[in-house]
Structure 1
Amino acid sequence: MKITNNSVVVMHYAVSDSEGTLIDSSYDHKPMSTIQGTGYLIPGLEEQLLGHQAGEKFEVAVSADKAYGDRHDDYVQTVPKELLQGVEDLAVGTQLRATTDDGEQTVIVIDVTDEEVTVDGNHPLAGLDLRFDVEILEVREATPEELAHGHIHSDGESCCGSDDGDEAQPASETKSDCCGGGSCGSIH
């Protein structure tokens, strides 16, 4: 079966920057499972998976604009340290949730002095062209329940915990409370 939108794709990947420096890899861990076309993956990688099938190994080059976007200097801000009173382990690399004009977002502490803290709201990979080594392990049709919930369920598992997948879902269940908050044993 070839990868199309709404296919479940199980794959290993290794991602490097344009200089060949390894950033992340699934090869020493569980493979990644995703539903193609849901936007879980960066656009450039998701587009390049279409048409591939289980057993294939290939490389994908993804430009920054199809990955995590360009870096924005205005996403870096220095604030008085007193604004972050009560934050434990305030050190370079600490991730914080910040309220911005665009809502909640994750920022990373990039500098700490006695008086100020500098945070960066850019994704750590923003502005980088990326290269992926991909190995497709499995391709299958997503179940109606997986499509409704937007994520993969473990073999034979339904969101309500039944092993046969036939148990009816409560009408009030949403993606956010599915499986106790979206954890069906799949990688999110």
Structure 2
Amino acid sequence: MLVKANDKVRVHYTGTLKNGEVFDSSEGKEPLEFTIGAGQIIPGFENGILGMKVEESKTLDIPANEAYGERKEDLVQEVPKTQLPPEITPEVGMQLMSQTPNGQQIPLVVTEVKDSSITVDANHPLAGKDLIFEVSIVSIN
């Protein structure tokens, strides 16, 4: 049995950057479970495991455009500190949540703190990066 569209699969994986830094892994955890074609994971990962069989392992080399996309500089903005809730003391690396007028939550990361403003980045932390996954198929349903 080979992985195909609409299959529910369970996989073990380790994700690394080109420099070898591990950014995520299922090691020591339950396998990741998802349905092929449901849009639950990045396209390059999903396409990379099509045609694999149970207990097969493979290295997936996924370019940024098939992962979290390219970085978009228009998602980096300077915000006056007066727009922050008074209980927040911003620090570089701090994660904040913003809300659009229609109620959608957008995660932001503080990248710079100035006297009267902060710079926030709404890009996914892995945007613009090519990713490498070591993946092993645990089950196909």
TM-score by length of structure 1 reads 0.69
Q: Distance in 2 between matches of 1:55 and 1:106?
A: 36
Residue 73 of structure 1 and its aligned partner are, at CA, apart by 1.4
Number of equivalences:
140
Q: Which has the higher contact order (CA 8 A, sep 6+)?
A: 2
Q: What is the SS of the residue equivalent to 2:123?
A: coil
Name the structure with the higher strand share.
Answer: 2
- Partner of residue 34, structure 2: 34
Residue 105 of structure 1 and its aligned partner are, at CA, apart by 2.0
Aligned pairs (5 A) from 1:39-58: 39-58=39-58
Residue 113 of structure 1 and its aligned partner are, at CA, apart by 2.9
Q: What is the SS of the residue equivalent to 1:48?
A: helix
What is the RMSD of the two structures over their aligned residues, measured on CA atoms? 1.8
Q: Residues 113 and 39 of structure 1: is their aligned pair in 2 closer, same or farther, counting only changes over 3 Å?
A: same
Stretch deviating more after TM superposition (115-124 or 92-101): 92-101
Q: Distance in 2 between matches of 1:87 and 1:133?
A: 42
The gaps in structure 1 that reach 5 residues or longer are 141-188
- Partner of residue 67, structure 1: 67
Aligned pairs (5 A) from 1:85-96: 85-88=85-88, 90-96=90-96
Q: What is the SS of the residue equivalent to 2:65?
A: helix
TM-score by length of structure 2 reads 0.90
- Give the number of the structure whose alpha-carbon radius of gyration is greater: 1
Identity level (%): 38
Residue 109 of structure 1 and its aligned partner are, at CA, apart by 1.3
Stretch deviating more after TM superposition (27-36 or 82-91): 82-91
The gaps in structure 2 that reach 5 residues or longer are none
Residue 114 of structure 1 and its aligned partner are, at CA, apart by 3.2
